[in-house]
Chains A and B, each alone.
Chain A
């Protein structure tokens, strides 16, 4: 086998110019593929992160009943013990306990339905990039203002615009509390956020957790634990561990499944935002098409090289077969040539692709080269214009392996033709 490789190398070096060109085509194809996979994986990570970062998080915990039908009274005790146990799960970066309720926010002149989000300002600030989203005023203070001062509220940008309020203005909130009574409270706008999430910007009214709990008559109960994880793909596994840590189940109960309404349910983002998960699965499947398009050109190049060099050496092959070389070895010699060509090209390409991806994985890639728009928005979520490539063993090794297979396939036809040479007429030049 080693001899076959040596022979292949020697043959390839006989026409250096042609081999170099083919090598370059293979290297460009593989390099492009490594680059593209890194970019798309990075882009999809950014999609998931952008969609989940501000509102849903990568994992959520609710009661089973809340998952089924989110009502203000479907709450659970959000004591520090539960939060600490969730926080200690490996892979969980931050935990934000929340109260969520719909209410009417406004004043004498106008009002809007808002999504009241009761949060611990510090925890929410770690679990989400909410502090970076402040465009006016400031984020909630660490602790609620002492009563009877108006309660602090941070509004989404569109909501603030519709209510025509700026930081410092007063607002009233009205809502139906967990006990069916009507809660009302005087608020003062401390800040305005532009989250890039259309729905949040239109609906969100952030309050201190305690204020929201008082308003909704929830005591110390909460509706949701929102978790941030570092690894997006690991969210499912981490959700399993979280569930084990607090005695919850993973995933929403099926329709026919009988589950106690108070059972806690941990859900990874794949289940919280199913459309996104579906889109990513679909997108990953479309990688095959990319391989086809990019590698087809390289495959034709290899095929051409192998066929040309085999044709040039017909007489040589005829002699070799005449002196007793078996057709199978003849066949193998040609295939090994194409595989060696593919391997060397793939290694060069993968190295270049790796270096380029690595650069963009650390420095980030400015997507604005593709568009005139200053911000990206998809399905109501704005994304960072700078994406960071994702480099995994798969994104580097898979293009190499696929190229080897392509090279071997491209060599089959020329090799088959070479093995079928009839020595006598070929040597005599009578074919």
Chain B
């Protein structure tokens, strides 16, 4: 169990597609419903996506073309399609753990739990972001409130880890649109400081639901760095074979 709510949460959310709740009245919504909605966001039946990940570092910018599949809560696969040197490199998540796959080596390697907070594929996402198995219900105390930022009213969900939950961040603040509960901005706190933000942009209709197509992951201490993930294609609730999330299935799609 990796009780950390992180981006991949968000990543998986976008990959998997989410059931967005119907418009709410202006009275404060029921806490349980909002939490369930957030958990639901990341818990879809299946997805298949193509995306571009741009990693901006002082030494240069890398643009990776990714293809991803997910099924249920536990299974996810991300394969690098371009550039050529890295094509076929993949990350596999199953209920049993997280693996990397190297096309050149043609082998899987288990990512040990000690490396979960390390960078994923050289981006500002961490391995743990992919590994997220946290339940907001089980590991966090939640508070729902209205919040106004720059003159706009948002639904704000504040999550604080329960004392026994071994999480890195001390507080998470999610801003959602007040009617559709579409994610707008997530803030990750360490102590009183925001250390990382994820901005959700470019909302479009996917499978009849409004979903942000772009996520900007911004480390606060490095303003000239960021990772941007953009969905070029997103299919939700499409049939995905369970076998894809095995070594054989992975090798089949990674070699394409």
Interface: B219 (CB within 8 A)? no
CA A173 to CA B108, docked complex, whole Å: 10
CA A184 to CA B105, docked complex, whole Å: 6
Question: Is there contact, CB below 8 Å, between B103 and A184?
Answer: yes
- B95 nearest CB across to chain A (Å): 15
Residues of the A chain whose Cβ atoms lie less than 8 Å from the Cβ of B121: 182
B-contacting residues, A71-121, CB 8 Å: 73, 104-113
Question: Is there contact, CB below 8 Å, between A104 and B109?
Answer: yes
Residues of the A chain whose Cβ atoms lie less than 8 Å from the Cβ of B83: 181
- B219 nearest CB across to chain A (Å): 16
Question: Is there contact, CB below 8 Å, between A185 and B102?
Answer: yes
Query: What is the 8 Å Cβ interface bit string for chain A, positions 177-195, against chain B (1 contact, 0 not)?
Result: 0011110111000000000
Question: Is there contact, CB below 8 Å, between B122 and A176?
Answer: yes
Q: How large is the interface on B (under 10, 10 to 19, 20 to 34, 35 or more residues)?
A: 20 to 34
Contacts A173-B105, A182-B121 supplied; 19 other A-B pairs, CB < 8 Å:
A73-B59, A105-B109, A106-B109, A107-B110, A108-B107, A108-B109, A108-B110, A111-B109, A111-B110, A111-B111, A113-B114, A174-B100, A174-B102, A176-B119, A179-B60, A180-B122, A181-B122, A182-B122, A184-B104
Most interface-central of B99, B102, B107, B108 (chain A CB within 10 A): B107
Q: Given A111-B110, A172-B107, A174-B109: A180 and B55 within 8 A (CB)?
A: yes
Residues of B within 8 A of A (CB): 55, 57, 59-60, 62, 80, 83, 85-86, 89, 99-100, 102-112, 114-115, 119, 121-122, 247
> Residue of B at shortest CB range from A177?
B85
Interface: A170 (CB within 8 A)? yes
A-B contact count, CB below 8 Å? 74
Query: What is the 8 Å Cβ interface bit string for chain A, positions 236-259, against chain B (1 contact, 0 not)?
Result: 000000000000000000000000
10 A-B pairs within 8 Å (CB atoms) are namely A73-B59, A105-B109, A106-B112, A108-B109, A108-B110, A180-B57, A182-B102, A182-B121, A185-B102, A186-B105
Residues of the A chain whose Cβ atoms lie less than 8 Å from the Cβ of B62: 180-181
Which 10 interchain pairs have the tightest Cβ spacing?
A: A184-B102, A186-B105, A172-B107, A172-B105, A172-B109, A108-B108, A184-B105, A106-B109, A111-B109, A180-B62
Question: Is there contact, CB below 8 Å, between A184 and B110?
Answer: no
Question: Is there contact, CB below 8 Å, between B102 and A172?
Answer: yes
Question: Is there contact, CB below 8 Å, between A111 and B107?
Answer: no
Most interface-central of A104, A107, A185 (chain B CB within 10 A): A104
Question: Is there contact, CB below 8 Å, between B115 and A113?
Answer: yes
Residues of the A chain whose Cβ atoms lie less than 8 Å from the Cβ of B86: 181-182
Residues of the B chain whose Cβ atoms lie less than 8 Å from the Cβ of A106: 109-110, 112
Question: Is there contact, CB below 8 Å, between B104 and A104?
Answer: no
- A150 nearest CB across to chain B (Å): 8
CA A91 to CA B56, docked complex, whole Å: 47
> Residue of B at shortest CB range from A151?
B105
Residues of the A chain whose Cβ atoms lie less than 8 Å from the Cβ of B89: 182, 184
> Residue of B at shortest CB range from A112?
B112
CA A106 to CA B85, docked complex, whole Å: 21
> Residue of B at shortest CB range from A104?
B109
> Residue of A at shortest CB range from B102?
A184
Residues of the B chain whose Cβ atoms lie less than 8 Å from the Cβ of A108: 99, 107-110, 247
- A213 nearest CB across to chain B (Å): 14
